[in-house]
Amino acid sequence: MLGVSGIFMSVPFLITSLYGGALADRMDRVKLLQVAQAAATVLAVVPGVLAALGVIQVWHIYALSFLSWTVSAFDGPARQAIVPSLVPRSDLMSAIALTSVVRRSTALVGPMIGGFAITLVGISGAFFVSAGFDAAVLLTLLIMRSLPAQPEERRVPMGRAILDGFKLIRGNPVIYGILSMEAVNTLLVTYQQLMPVFARDILQVGPTGFGFLYASPGVGALVGSALLLLMGDVKRKGLLFVTTVLIQPVTIMLFALSPWMVTSMLMLALSGVLDVIGGTVRNAMLQLSTRDQMRGRVMGMNMMVHRGLGPLSGLQAGAVATFAGAPFAVAAGSALFIVYAVFLIFRVPELRLYEEKEAGNF
């Protein structure tokens, strides 16, 4: 039942993220974020009420997952597309890196807060605490200055707007190459769903060790984010992007094949460093290669291949692990991605040759 919940997360995101991206290009992105955050706040309250009344059922969880990820499909593209409108072009890399620091930090601290909240105020109370944080975010959005919509896009039918987004992506080798590589990476380079197997059967470190393993990529990501903030803007973004893309899956392979806990943690931490650096550079390249009128659609596609495919990535890894073991499943997926990445890098040389001077206008 827990595994099935991934379908109720992935499917609505895959279906609606393109529409959400097109909508982010059609209306004021601040207002779209306000509406999406208000919906997220309500959706955080509902399970708390159901749990408090003692009537919550499995289908409620599925329905709430479906609705929450639908809201995320509208929130995500607008949230990413609005960043270049808030910071100078020269600070874009640092802004994305700082966003990553906040996101990764909360990903580490959030579960701990959730655990304390459950202990102190129970399951329903924890949901109400979560809703309170959502309400605080909504308040900050309500006091933000509104940005002008894109008037020339308002007269374009929504279907045509989405189709124009596909045409832009297919016609721009940098955008096409990044999204193609990200989609294959998301599906093949996966280990999170199999982490309990590594902790219990391979490394035999128990629940405590499982916690350390799961936290290692987050710690590495914080280090990588700090390095990016120190580096500032990087001109040769393409070279940095392809370098991290090729090395990061190697660290996952070494983790999968390692019989030692310390080595496994180090490889996961290094993976986190490379993942956040590569992800930040990738995001900046997408932002810089897209004009503002189309940025929401490109970000919607980016969110679709990254987050929408994410919950489905465990299906292939779990199937292979069932027959050949978890280490082979993780290592083989990473190796296949490296083969594809090398092929794509040579097929689309614009990826490795991308420099700041080639970037599009905001």
In sequence order, the 6+-apart residues with CB closer than 8 A to the CB of 166 are none
Which residue reads 């655990």 in tokens? 115
pLDDT in tens, 83-113: 888 888 777 777 877 777 777 777 667 777 7
- The single-letter code of the amino acid at 302 is N
DSSP state of 2: T
Residue partners of 310: CB distance under 8 A and separation at least 6: 10, 186
pLDDT mean over 14-39: 86
- In the chain, the DSSP E strands lie at none
78 phi-psi bin (left φ>0, alpha ψ -120 to 50, beta other): alpha
- Nearest residue to 177 via CA among 352, 348, 356, 359: 348
Spatial distance between the Cα atoms of 249 and 239, rounded to a whole number of angstroms: 17
Instruction: Select the more confidently predicted residue: 207 or 352.
Output: 352
CB atoms within 10 A of CB 271: 26
Under a CB-based contact definition with an 8 Å cutoff, are residues 293 and 109 in contact? no
Rounded distance between C-alpha atoms, residue 319 and residue 294, angstroms? 38
**What confidence tens digit (pLDDT) does each residue in 45-97 have?**
999 999 999 898 989 999 998 999 899 888 888 888 888 888 887 777 778 77
pLDDT score, position 3:
59
Please give the average per-residue pLDDT across 226-246, as a whole number.
82
* Number of helical (H) and strand (E) elements in the chain, helices listed first: 16, 0
Nearest to 329 by CA among 263, 245, 257, 244: 257
DSSP state of 235: S
Q: What CATH homologous superfamily does 5-145+155-356 map to?
A: MFS general substrate transporter like domains (1.20.1250.20)
Tally of CA atoms within 13 A in the half-sphere of 12 that contains its CB: 17
Whole-number average pLDDT of the chain: 82
